[in-house]
Structure 1
Amino acid sequence: MSSKSTGGSKSSARLPSAFNRLAWSNLAAQSAEQVGMAAAPLVAVLALGVGAGKTGMLQTAQTLPFLLLSIPAGLLADRMPRRRLMACAEALRALSLLGILACAGLGWLTWPLLAVLGFVGACGTVAYTVSAPALVPTLVPPECLAAANGRIELARTVAFAGGPALAGALVGWTGATPAFGLAAALSICAVFLLARLREPARPARPPRHPLADLREGARFVFGHSLLLPIFLTQLIFNTAFFVLHAAYVPYAVHRLGFSASGVGATLATYGVGMIVGALLAARVTRMLALGTVIALGPIAGFAAAIVMVLTLWVPSILLAGLSFFLMGAGPVIWVISTATLRQTVTPSDLMGRASAINIMAYGSRPIGSAIGAVIGGLYGAETCLIVAAVGFLAQALVIVTSPVLHLHRQPEMVGRPSPAPSPS
């Protein structure tokens, strides 16, 4: 991410109104996801009485669609209007949240039902998440691309900062119903914001077999000297993070003695760290070479894992909060810089599939959650923290030994059609 494209307010001022609608929809959708995902394990532990094993299985259900559906969603994003796909996907998530809300209100909520409805909602999350990065370059001119990515990521950081704390407070004070009601309302708002977004028309693509499209996208990403190590780093990072995340709530409640509000507060420092990282991203990029900026995220992730391991000997809410803060601050700079790099080097007609393959790295979340569930069930949540730290070390080594580390600035952008004029 070059300093020219990230730091200037002029670029930000030129962001068109169509993109602004997408950004607000993204904020609502991300907030709905974070409130729902934070509330689910708290409800499972505090109201349904489940332990580390079942909490990990719940998170596996909530993240499995990233593994199963990223590629199909990417194929759809390159074949149909992305705005329509995102609206339908977010509506599906809203329905799943309303289902959880109804079951909680009627006293019918069980752990298996919570997992099934969480899986359904995550199916919508995948399609929305895959389509949004592919839609951004069609709404903004190339010189505003980095500013647009920064805006999208800042919205996500606000959701990460507020969602877990709000969910923890609502569950702790009033029970599950208000938390899932808020998440459903935010999801519905995201759908309505998308309804008025005008997406530029794309050239018609000749009909092709989906496998041919898939091979084309995979060949591009996995054959690219920059995109491949980025994918591998994200894959390992997400696996390690969800090993830790699967065990954290029962570990924090039973070993560290945190209340629901305390758990929510420590999780919220992840979002606070993301906000700090997003606000500092432009300044950091001006000071450092691009490869160094990208490497900051994986290195910060490893440092965060070490701090969390220290809570085994020093059970402090401050250390737990610092760990999540570092986990947010460094990696958000990674997300902003690598998103712009990916959009810069990827042709427009491959954006959906390239985005899907990138999002497929999130498919390691259920793998991490499953590993956390097994290890947590057999050996305890404490062992999960150590295993996660080993994973964070591995992902840092991948990126610091790759060609990405030697980048000084963004490569030249590949050709793509100009975005349509901004609607009034």
Structure 2
Amino acid sequence: MPRPPSRNYALLSSAAVISQLGSQGALIASAFAVLSAGGTAGGVGLVATARTVPMVLFVLVGGALADRVPRHRVMVAANALNCVSQGTFGLLVLSGHARLWQMVALSVLGGTGQALFGPANEGMLLSSVDPARAGRAFAVYRMAVNGATIGGAAAGGALVALWGPGSVLLLDSMSFLVAAALRAFLDLSHVPERAPGGGVLADLRDGWREFVSRPWLWSIVGQFSVVNAVVVAGQAVYGPLVADDHYGGAGPWGVANAAFGAGTLLGALAMTRWGPRRLLLAGTLGIFPFALPLMALAVPVSAALLTVAMFVAGASVEVFGVAWMTALHQEIPEEKLSRVSSYDWLGSMALVPVATALAGPAQGAFGRGQALWGAAGLVVLLTGAVLFVPDVRNIRRREGAVPGSDAAPVPEPVPEPGTSADAEGAVGRAG
């Protein structure tokens, strides 16, 4: 099968950077829009939840849809929905007559658009990379998006203060419009025509069979559903509280979060040069440092040590992220990428609202420090458990293999545990 033109990768990367710049500013703007309309912290949380819930409810539908119709059409339609919802949100705020129920409804539309977009985008990206350069391509992509995340948050805060939240929301709307225009030019000539299926439910069942048939896939998604939830709860709920009580306010916590962002950039940059042979082993080992910020907040350590912990965690998340994308690209058939990605997305998001909602009661029942130690313990325990899955330890990078094929790599002797060759597989080699 001919490989897709490199133009697809360039279009996807450019569109992702543009929309991420706008979306990060919009996250700040939406919170201040609620407050400027007379809302409270509860209203801010309600608007944020209204965006998250439809992402959980509709992400599987988005995955099935993206494997049924051309993915770029799903992406453009989802971007158009986000453009309209954010534009309407911004105009209401600028008019001075925005009400909470309107902001909640528009956030629901935005979350629905993101649910439809995510699996289609991931499937399109994974299918648009040459197998021989997959790891480096994914690392560069993530580095660009992480840079846009940092820049968008910084610019968004400044622009909200300068122009007000309504104008920033309109800018986000325009970023979705530009991104949709770029994605409309994606080339799908390399994607074989898909045979008509038996409907969305049949597609979801087929995707589920693909998902559960691979122990490495469902075990890591199950692990990450808990890890992601406790890390988000620890950093989003407990982090600001610890900063207020022990670090003198939001300033040091902001510096620590900036260090996390800097770590993601360095980690992605390192992964452009490092191609671990045992993809999932290297990626899973990169999960252990996720516990460091939780432990640092539990003590709590000095602000300087917390900043170092956040930097290390940020770098390690990129080791996992690039290895994970490369494994999906290599192991999953192209025509099922979006459906499999949708189960990955669902696992990553489903428990986050539950964990953040339980963070307060857990602090009341056990104390903040014990809750944070418990969260760190779950990260370490579940990550260690995943290492007992044979495929997690043994799946190796197949240079030049067709994604999803069963073509075996060049045979290599399997080293005994503890030998120098086994250590090399865990650490990887220069790419």
TM category, shorter: 0.7 to 0.9
Correspondence 1:27 to 2:26: no
Distance 1:293 1:271, change over 3 A: same
For residue 228 of structure 1, the aligned residue among 185, 195, 218 is 218
Give the whole-Å Cα distance in 1 for the aligned partners of 2:95 and 2:257. 29
TM-score, length of structure 2 as denominator length: 0.80
For residue 142 of structure 1, the aligned residue among 107, 125, 131 is 131
- Percent identity between the two aligned chains: 23
For residue 113 of structure 2, the aligned residue among 119, 124, 140 is 124
The structural deviation recorded for 1:292 is 3.8
- Secondary structure in structure 2 of the residue aligned to 1:226: helix
Partner amino acid for 1:21? L
Structure 2 stretches of 5 or more lacking a match? 406-431
Correspondence 1:309 to 2:298: yes
Partner amino acid for 1:400? L
Distance 1:235 1:144, change over 3 A: same
Distance 1:390 1:61, change over 3 A: farther
Correspondence 1:199 to 2:153: no
Assess if the C-alpha contact under 8 Å between 1:59 and 1:366 holds in 2: no
Q: Could you say which residue in structure 1 is the equivalent of 2:56?
A: 67
Partner amino acid for 2:376? A
Deviations 1:258-309 (A, max 9, x none): 45x77655434332221111001144435x7434421233112111221233
The structural deviation recorded for 1:26 is 1.6
Q: Number of paired residues?
A: 397
Deviations 1:203-262 (A, max 9, x none): 131231322221221112122122122211221122113323542585378545545x77
Deviations 1:340-397 (A, max 9, x none): 1012111122112111111112332333333346657999987764554344334423
Q: Could you say which residue in structure 2 is the equivalent of 1:333?
A: 319
For residue 357 of structure 2, the aligned residue among 370, 393, 400 is 370
Partner amino acid for 1:397? G
Correspondence 1:181 to 2:170: yes
Q: Could you say which residue in structure 1 is the equivalent of 2:92?
A: 103
Distance 1:368 1:278, change over 3 A: same
Assess if the C-alpha contact under 8 Å between 2:86 and 2:106 holds in 1: yes
Distance 1:258 1:164, change over 3 A: farther
Q: Could you say which residue in structure 2 is the equivalent of 1:300?
A: 289
1:23-102 equivalence runs, <5 A: 23-41=13-31, 50-51=40-41, 55-102=44-91
The structural deviation recorded for 1:337 is 0.7
Give the whole-Å Cα distance in 2 for the aligned partners of 1:304 and 1:203. 47
Which region of structure 1 is more displaced relative to structure 2, 112-121 or 20-29? Answer: 112-121
Partner amino acid for 2:316? G
Partner amino acid for 1:369? T
Q: Could you say which residue in structure 1 is the equivalent of 2:144?
A: 155
Give the whole-Å Cα distance in 2 for the aligned partners of 1:166 and 1:405. 40
Partner amino acid for 2:139? G
Partner amino acid for 1:98? G
Give the whole-Å Cα distance in 2 for the aligned partners of 1:407 and 1:356. 25
Which region of structure 1 is more displaced relative to structure 2, 379-388 or 88-97? Answer: 379-388
Q: Could you say which residue in structure 1 is the equivalent of 2:390?
A: 403
Partner amino acid for 2:353? P
Correspondence 1:347 to 2:333: yes
Distance 1:68 1:243, change over 3 A: same
Q: Could you say which residue in structure 1 is the equivalent of 2:233?
A: 243
Higher RCO (CA-CA < 8 Å; seq separation 6+): 1
Assess if the C-alpha contact under 8 Å between 2:78 and 2:114 holds in 1: yes
Assess if the C-alpha contact under 8 Å between 1:86 and 1:128 holds in 2: yes
Give the whole-Å Cα distance in 1 for the aligned partners of 2:105 and 2:361. 20
Give the whole-Å Cα distance in 1 for the aligned partners of 2:196 and 2:216. 29
Distance 1:387 1:160, change over 3 A: farther
Partner amino acid for 2:14? W
Deviations 1:41-82 (A, max 9, x none): 46557875634x665544332222231111100110011110
Give the whole-Å Cα distance in 2 for the aligned partners of 1:33 and 1:383. 34
Distance 1:372 1:101, change over 3 A: farther
Partner amino acid for 2:358? I
Deviations 1:391-421 (A, max 9, x none): 43344234333335423622554557xxxxx
| Aligned-pair Cα RMSD in Å | 3.3
Partner amino acid for 1:333? V
TM-score, length of structure 1 as denominator length: 0.81
Give the whole-Å Cα distance in 2 for the aligned partners of 1:162 and 1:304. 23
Partner amino acid for 1:234? F
For residue 361 of structure 1, the aligned residue among 347, 358, 380 is 347
Distance 1:22 1:396, change over 3 A: same
